[in-house]
Structure 1
Amino acid sequence: MSEATRDKMKEAAARLFYTQGYHGTSVRHIAEQANVNIALVSYYFGGKKGLFEQLMTQFLEGYLEAMHIDDETRMKSTREQLLSVIRSLLSYQQNHYHLARMVHREMTMDSVLVRELMSTYLRKEKHDFEQLLRRGMKEGSFNKQPIDFVLIQLRGMITLPYYSPQYLRELYQLSTTEPYFINRYVEHLTSWIDSCLCGIEPTRTNRVMLKIN
């Protein structure tokens, strides 16, 4: 029962922090949305701040877990590994839409919490992507180019659908929460990776299909 109550409060808080922001959300709002006694927020999380921090770290821990490359995927090319990681991260954010929106927005703020998270979780994300890109460049799968610039482009493309869904909705005429959005978006990311990272000239058929999509 306690775990179910905790989950209800976290789900309610994620929705409220997403729609109203941290400062616009009160403990009473969270309790009302979760249909629990207001005292339980302090009992389980030590208050609004503790709940907010737990949601942030919970999302980022899951995000890093989604980057994990299993043994079967590790046997594939670095290009396929990169595409697998990208799809996994997009799916993870789609499955945790409110949390993703909340976290990406809060990560733009300058605060002690954000600086701590940047120095741990986001540094690990950078390290894992960097290792994969360097391995691909060493093997000749990827063209040699500035790693940092590629990282900026990759992270932007992976987080944009959930950081700025309105822009993607206008571009694709498709909500980023719809299940087939990821397949369509990954088609375009694959074309970018093949062209910019792998130096593969897209076939005429692929170019036509991308224009149609």
Structure 2
Amino acid sequence: MPILKKTAGRPLTQVDNRNALIEAARVLFVESDYDKVSVRAIAQQANVDASLIRYYFQSKLGLFSEMLKETLAPLTQKISQTNKAMIHNSPEEILSTYYSMMSQNPDFPKLIYRTASLPDSPQNRELQARLLTLMPSPKFAIIDKIKDADILKADVDVMCAKMSFISLLIFPFLMPELFKKAVGIETSPEFMQKLAKHNASLLRHGLFADDNQPSQDCKK
């Protein structure tokens, strides 16, 4: 049985402790590089015994991987669903899901970016491999699927479309505060959902040959 660290209030359950570790890892790995976050610091942030990290996740790397997996779960589930369904609204649905998810964790894209940009080393390659298992290229090949379905506009370059799609996904959450202030942008969960619909409309009218049909997101 795992050791539960006693605190004031109601007793913690095993589920509470596991979730507390996931949340603590999310906070600390966003704030600092992987190698600067200790097992002890994570346990202290979660207010549980450090031995629980090994009990639930085997290691710090296991906890890091599970934290990524659980945070990205809504997005990967949506991609799996859209890959099995009609493809017309796939980029828009992915965009909307991603914005909604990241609005709840606005600094998480910075963690993804930092992990993907780590210098080469055995440990960093392992971290990046864990990230890529959650974001495999076949699942994210939405633009290729649109092209194969013959619904991509004839004058759209596939590589440019991929870059635009990724830019719409990532840049709003990586935009420096200096630039936001310079152009008068104030972000909030409500604004990000509005931006998701706006960018979904850009995708719809910029990529699809049948752009006279409005998407469900844009009609809301």
Which range, TM-score by smaller chain? 0.7 to 0.9
Matched, 1:197 2:197: no
Q: CA RMSD in A?
A: 3.1
2:125 maps to amino acid: V
Distance (whole Å) between structure 2 residues aligned to residue 178 and residue 60 of structure 1? 17
Q: Deviations over 1:92-117 (max 9, x none)?
A: 22234344432232122243231454
Q: Greater relative contact order (Cα 8 A, min sep 6): structure 1 or 2? A: 2
**Inter-CA distance 182–105: structure 2 relative to 1 (3 Å threshold):** farther
Question: 5 Å matches for 1:125-144?
Answer: 125-135=139-149, 138-139=150-151, 142-144=153-155
Of the candidates 84, 98, 117, which is equivalent to residue 89 of structure 1? 98
Q: CA deviation at 1:198?
A: 4.4
- CA 99–188 in structure 1, closer or farther in 2 if over 3 Å, else same: closer
Deviation for aligned residue 1:64: 1.6
Instruction: Render the CA deviation track for 1:29-49: whole Å, top value 9, x for unaligned.
Output: 111111111221222212322
Q: How many residues align?
A: 192
* Range moving further from structure 2, 161-170 or 39-48: 161-170
**Mind listing any 5+ residue stretches in structure 2 that lack a counterpart?**
1-12, 212-220
Normalised to the residue count of structure 1, the TM-score between the two structures is 0.73
Sort the Cα spacing of 1:129 and 1:95 in 2 relative to 1 into closer, same or farther, 3 A: farther
Consecutive unaligned residues in structure 1, runs of 5 or more: 202-213
- 2:214 maps to which residue? none
- Of the three residues 69, 77, 86, the one matched with 2:82 is 69
Q: TM-score, normalised by structure 2?
A: 0.71
- 1:6 aligns with 18
Three-state SS of the structure 1 residue aligned to 2:35 is coil
The Cα of 1:13 is off from its aligned counterpart by 0.9
Is the Cα–Cα contact under 8 Å of residues 78 and 93 in structure 2 kept in the other structure? Answer: no
Aligned to 2:110: 101
